[in-house]
Amino acid sequence: MVVEDNEDLRVAVTTELAAHGFRVDEAGDLATADAVLTGAHHDCVVFDRMLPDGDAATYVYERRQRGWAVPVLFLTARDTVADRVAGFEHGGDDYLVKPFAVAEMTARVLVLCRRSQDRRPPVLHHADLELDSARRQVRRAGVLLTLSDKEFAVLEYLMVRPEQAVTRTELIEHCWDTSTDPMSNVVDVVVRRLRAKLREPELIHTVRGVGYRLDGGRSGS
């Protein structure tokens, strides 16, 4: 995600990241960014430090206090050592001073995204569900399940975003190749098979008009 109030710079950064295969959300202020970050998972967030509604460093610090672990790159015109140290102390993972080369920014984002993947635990848990990414095994209440590659990929994507609404488009982008028609019902078919294999109580709930959410036994939207 890119949070930058300068529209020209935001478009330039977003375009460059998209050209390198990233799916990018964008915002021009903290309020908009907070709404997006609360409802979706991101591998990295690029924050301009000074935004119309506050200092992004303060926002990041407050979210870090609540356990938020997404890597953050700060963009800023503040170039003193004290400013850079403050950025790191407030929870930033990297700090890039304006003006900067967009290519360098992209390289730094790549590193942070890899760091985000490294932070993922090798075994994911949700309710009585266990997914071992390395062994490609899934267990429900200790019972080993047999899943297809697509079923495993969809479940894994939902499990790293528990209790978040995940769109069908997101699932297609991350679990299928680029030739898949986003208007097809392939996601619904795989989810239907997954639900049958996971059995009751139901964990994958439909979010009407959006997609799906992994939720520990509560009713869907």
Number of domains in the chain: 2
* Domain of residue 167, residue span: 123-214
Residue 40 lies in a domain: yes
Same domain, 53 and 101: yes
Same domain, 110 and 163: no
Neighbour-count burial of 169, counting CB atoms closer than 10 A to its CB (0-12 exposed, 13-18 middle, 19+ buried): middle
**Whether the Cβ atoms of residue 217 and residue 202 lie closer than 8 Å to each other:** yes
Quickly state the pLDDT bin for 43 (edges 50, 70, 90): confident
- Its pTM stands at 0.57
Average of pLDDT values for 91-106? Answer: 90
- β-strands 143-145, 137-140 pairing: antiparallel
**How far is Cα 145 from Cα 79, in angstroms, rounded to an integer?**
54
Range of lowest pLDDT (53-67, 110-124, 203-217): 110-124
Q: Does the pLDDT at position 219 exceed 50?
A: no
Residue 220 lies in a domain: no
Residue 22 lies in a domain: yes
Residue 221 lies in a domain: no
Tell me, what CATH number does 187's domain have? 1.10.10.10
| 5-34: pLDDT as tens digits | 999 999 999 999 888 878 899 999 999 999
Closest CA to 105 of 75, 71, 79, 70: 75
Same domain, 99 and 155: no
Q: Does the pLDDT at position 183 exceed 70?
A: no
Residue 52 lies in a domain: yes
Whole-number pLDDT of residue 177: 61
Residue 169 lies in a domain: yes
Tell me, what CATH number does 68's domain have? 3.40.50.2300
| 154-166: pLDDT as tens digits | 999 898 888 888 8
**How far is Cα 173 from Cα 62, in angstroms, rounded to an integer?**
31
**How far is Cα 121 from Cα 156, in angstroms, rounded to an integer?**
12
Same domain, 181 and 138: yes
Q: What is the 3-state secondary structure (H, E, C) of the chain?
A: CEECCCHHHHHHHHHHHHHCCCCCCEECCHHHHHHHHHHCCCCCEEEECEECCEEHHHHHHHHHHCCCCCCEEEEECCCCHHHHHHHHHCCCCEEEECCCCHHHHHHHHHHHHHHHHHCCCCEEEECCEEEECCCCEEEECCEEECCCHHHHHHHHHHHCCCCCCEEHHHHHHHHCCCCCCCCCCHHHHHHHHHHHHHCCCCCEEEECCCEEEECCCCCCC
Average of pLDDT values for 168-185? Answer: 71
Same domain, 20 and 104: yes
Final residue before a domain boundary, out of 118, 142, 157: 118
Whole-number pLDDT of residue 218: 42
**Whether the Cβ atoms of residue 113 and residue 43 lie closer than 8 Å to each other:** yes
Average of pLDDT values for 67-72? Answer: 84
Residue 219 lies in a domain: no
Same domain, 13 and 112: yes
| 193-to-10, 97, 212 alpha-carbon distances in Å | 41, 49, 14
**How far is Cα 202 from Cα 60, in angstroms, rounded to an integer?**
35
Final residue before a domain boundary, out of 118, 147, 164: 118
Same domain, 141 and 105: no
Same domain, 110 and 137: no
Highest mean pLDDT among 37-41, 91-95, 179-183: 91-95
**Whether the Cβ atoms of residue 90 and residue 73 lie closer than 8 Å to each other:** no
Final residue before a domain boundary, out of 118, 145, 175: 118
Q: Does the pLDDT at position 191 exceed 90?
A: yes
| 104-156: pLDDT as tens digits | 999 999 888 877 665 566 788 888 999 988 788 999 999 999 999 899 989 99
**How far is Cα 166 from Cα 20, in angstroms, rounded to an integer?**
22
